[in-house]
């Protein structure tokens, strides 16, 4: 399990903390000191970038990302252990997912080594922003996007890969478990679309229903498949699992759900624990009939679902 968790080199001397009220830390944007930036021209490959002070980008008003949504993001976390070590959780998996998304959106991409190196550099350059053990994590956000100007036709002349980081607390504030709404109208993804990669185009289109659900008191929404509207897919930004007896089931990777890094790890872990794990089509009925439901994600970690509401039924 987690063969690629990595320990970063640290020195005790610079082990100081930023001036943060760690006990009040939520999950949101928090400006830190440094970020990583690499650029790449059309037809070339990404070369090593550099750590620069965190600042706004200069970006063309006619850039591919601003006009045509050409962008991907990743999310991973750095943890501080009780022993003072700094750990990353499987950063190579995020690198591979970014590569897959870059193919889908016609972009060049950093190599796995470059991606992991950039993440490590950003963590070390913002070390004082990593919360104390148990108080939170440093959330790391790599993004890859078309930064060059384009009007009408390909190619995009320039791409940017950047990594920044924010200290975060808990993503979900519901201590007793999440109250989920099964979304019966809006779909998140469709076959041949971008649901299987971490494209920026998957997110803002479903804010409208997430905002409505939150206004109604729900913690999150659970999307159904676009083709039939009968099977569960995933939450806004996490995968879903159901448990019945000795069987743990989760929607299979078929192009419309995100192949979560935490999802993959939980599948490996539950198998190690002796459960039978099924990656399959999961009808809504199976979820409503389950003994236990939970969701997994880098931001969400592993979170229990307390209730599920489908149409008028809770």
Residues in contact with a second copy by CB under 8 A are 27-30, 35, 54, 56-62, 64-71, 73, 104-106, 139, 141, 143, 145-146, 149-154, 162, 164, 166, 168, 171, 185-187, 190-194, 199-205, 207-208, 210-211, 214, 226, 299
Q: Which is nearer to a second copy, 114 or 160 (CB)?
A: 160
Q: Strands 178-182 and 50-53: what pairing?
A: unpaired
CB of 286 to a second copy, least distance (A): 23
Residue number, 186 or 275, with CB nearest to a second copy: 186
Nearer to a second copy, 139 or 248 (CB): 139
- Name the minimum Å distance from CB 314 to a second copy: 23
- Residue in 16, 21, 198, 264 annotated catalytic: 198
Burial 183-193 (b: 16+ CB within 10 A, else e): beebbbbeeeb
How far apart are CB 24 and a second copy at their closest, in Å?
16
CB 279 within 8 A of CB 251: yes
Q: How far is the CB of 145 from a second copy (least distance, A)?
A: 6
DSSP at 9: P
Which residue number, 91 or 195, has a Cβ lying nearer to a second copy? Answer: 195
Cβ neighbour number for residue 6 with a 10 Å cutoff: 16
Q: Position of tokens 């990595």? A: 6
| Spatial contact of 105 and 199, defined as CB atoms under 8 Å apart | yes
CA distances from 120 to 34, 101, 124, 166, 241 (A): 12, 21, 6, 14, 31
198 is catalytic: yes
Q: What CA–CA distance (Å, rounded) separates 61 from 63?
A: 6
Give the 3-state secondary structure of residue 193.
Answer: coil
**Sign of torsion over alpha carbons 247, 253, 259, 265:** positive
Minimal distance in Å, beta carbon 189 to a second copy?
8
- Judged by DSSP in three states, 192 sits in coil
- Looking at the Cβ atoms of 221 and 242, the one nearer to a second copy is 221
Answer for the pair 235, 258: CB distance below 8 angstroms, yes or no.
no
Active site residues: 198
């Amino acid at each position: 399990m987690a063969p690629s968790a990595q320990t970063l080199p640290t020195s005790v001397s610079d082990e100081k903390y930023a001036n943060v009220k760690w006990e009040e830390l939520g999950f949101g944007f928090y400006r830190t000191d440094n970020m990583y930036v690499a650029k790449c021209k059309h037809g070339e490959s990404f070369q090593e970038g550099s750590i620069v002070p965190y600042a706004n980008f200069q970006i063309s008003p006619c850039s591919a990302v601003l006009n045509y949504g050409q962008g991907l993001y990743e999310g991973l976390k750095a943890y501080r252990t009780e022993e003072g070590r700094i750990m990353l959780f499987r950063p190579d998996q995020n690198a591979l997912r970014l590569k897959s998304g870059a193919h889908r959106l016609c972009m060049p991409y950093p190599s796995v080594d470059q991606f992991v190196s950039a993440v490590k550099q950003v963590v070390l350059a913002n070390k004082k922003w990593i919360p104390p053990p148990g108080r939170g994590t440093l959330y790391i956000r790599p993004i890859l996007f078309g930064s060059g100007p384009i009007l009408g036709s390909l190619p995009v002349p320039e791409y940017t890969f950047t990594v920044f980081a924010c200290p975060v607390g808990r993503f979900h504030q519901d201590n007793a478990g999440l109250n989920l709404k099964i979304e019966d109208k809006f779909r998140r993804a469709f076959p041949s679309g971008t649901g299987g990669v971490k494209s920026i185009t998957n997110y803002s289109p479903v804010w409208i229903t997430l905002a409505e659900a939150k206004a109604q008191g729900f913690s999150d929404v659970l999307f159904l498949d676009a083709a039939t509207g009968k099977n569960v897919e995933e939450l806004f930004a996490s995968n879903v699992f159901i448990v019945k007896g000795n069987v743990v089931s989760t929607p299979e990777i078929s192009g419309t759900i995100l192949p979560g890094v935490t999802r993959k790890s939980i599948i490996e872990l539950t198998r190690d624990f002796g459960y039978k794990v099924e990656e399959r089509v999961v009808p809504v009925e199976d979820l409503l009939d389950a003994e236990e439901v939970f969701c997994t994600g880098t931001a969400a970690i592993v979170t229990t679902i307390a209730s599920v509401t489908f149409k008028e039924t809770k």
